[in-house]
Structure 1
């Protein structure tokens, strides 16, 4: 077993030039009022890794060119299609009309485990909320489903960037399955 060099890893990766031709995961992500620039930057990197369709930064979510976002995004703000939109409700309504399943990553009285999503739920809009208050009820009311990552410890939730990473790569796995 030999660790791969950066050049070896990069050999089969997309570039900014080839990115438009890459088949993307049919998931649009809405970050609503995330507080931490570092969480946002981390979510950019994870979004690049999963090759999502688009990232919407909404409410008071920090966004590029804020230096703390750029520090953790490490250039992925250039490879992820993103847009700042103040009010996410318009995006949700538009995506719903286009046939997207609207899904919040949130603990509700009728959620399902993140592992129970089906390929038939794609294309999907994943709404991720604030680190403390989560996804607000107004957005939950627009959702078709809500998903949760089961917790087994004392704390009730994971860091938002960590939870997003778990959920988005589960969606990637579902999408890539034959």
Structure 2
């Protein structure tokens, strides 16, 4: 087995990325404070052809050298928009027919491994602040709360890791459904 060289990876250009059909998933970052986490979410969103990222509240926006350092150019490929109020955005998305999933540990949450996306549905996943999580009012307004089952002592994952796990899971489930 031989590792592939960068020129063998068949990477598409930013223009090709923009023209490629997207996975019907939107990422909402609710008051994310770490610039590295923001950059990582951009990079993961690029990998899975995510439709758009909304940066809300205190979440920093590109251009920013610390975001860029982790995103490695994904801020140029993935569509994004800043919206100050996460709750207003959630209401707007729901009015547009998007199913909003808060990614949070909560009463009566649905475990990610048991969640089945509906065919021809668009989803928005809301990722919360590193310390406080998704705002309670945003959880209340969401269609569903999704939780990653965890068995260790910490019962929390970094937001960039959580986003990667959730996007991969949804990407696979949606791709298999197509």
Give yes or no for TM over 0.5.
Answer: yes
Q: Is the 8 A contact 1:55 1:83 kept in 2?
A: yes
After the TM superposition, which segments of 4 or more aligned residues of structure 1 sit over 4 Å from their partners? none
Q: CA deviation at 1:151?
A: 1.2
> Contact between 1:131 and 1:160, CA under 8 Å: does it hold in 2?
yes
Deviation at 1:28, TM superposition (A): 0.8
Per-residue CA deviation, residues 51-99 of structure 1 (Å, 9 max, x unaligned), is: 1010000000112122111111110000110011111222211211121
CA RMSD in angstroms comes to 1.2
CA contact (8 A) 1:14 1:22 kept: no
**Is contact 2:105-2:147 (8 Å) kept?**
yes
| Shift in Å, 1:19 | 2.1
Aligned length: 176
Aligned to 2:7: 7
Q: Distance in 2 between matches of 1:65 and 1:16?
A: 16
CA contact (8 A) 2:100 2:142 kept: yes
Which whole-Å deviations, capped at 9, do the CAs of 1:88-134 have from their partners, x for residues lacking one? 22221121112111101000101011122223173111000000110
DSSP-derived class of the 1:54 partner: strand
Match of residue 36, structure 2, among 35, 38, 45: 38
- The alpha-carbon deviation at position 14 of structure 1 amounts to 2.7
1:143 aligned residue: 142
Correspondence for 1:51: 49
Q: Secondary structure at the match of 2:14?
A: coil
Offset, 1:18:
1.5
Instruction: Tell whether 2:151 aligns with 1:160.
Output: no
Structure 2 length-normalised TM = 0.94
* Alignment of 1:16 onto 2:14: yes
Q: Which runs of 5+ in 1 are unaligned?
A: none
Q: Secondary structure at the match of 2:141?
A: coil
CA deviation string 1:12-68 (max 9, x = no partner): x33112223211110111101111001111111011011101000000011212211
**Alignment match, 1:101:** 99
